[in-house]
Amino acid sequence: MQDRRRPRKPLPYAPPRDKLDVAYVDDHLIVLRKPSGLLTTEGRAYGMEDCLLARAKERWPDALPVHRLDMDTSGVVLLARSEVARLQDLVTSKV
């Protein structure tokens, strides 16, 4: 049987140029408010490198993602500043 679906066109990516909206920072965690239209982590396609994590790493090179939100979703994103903080958060979120 032949697949009659049309190939998907790449979505245009024009992330908002807003500055980082910091809700909380300490030695272990960073909490940022992500606007709609911005990727949480780098996209796979060319031209999708701008993301919340890349912007955060400019300020905090040790930032590690704990979770992500979809590009069109706004909300709070948690970044860990160490593997220990990241693992502790991942373990406690599964309980």
27 is catalytic: no
- Tell me how crowded residue 27 is: count the other CB atoms within 10 A of its CB: 8
Question: Which of 21, 50, 70, 89 is labelled catalytic?
Answer: 70
Backbone angle region of 37, left / alpha / beta, with phi > 0 → left and psi within -120 to 50 → alpha: left
CB 78 within 8 A of CB 89: yes
Closest CA to 53 of 80, 28, 84: 80
Collapsing DSSP to helix, strand or coil, 65 comes out as strand
- Please give the positions annotated as active site: 70
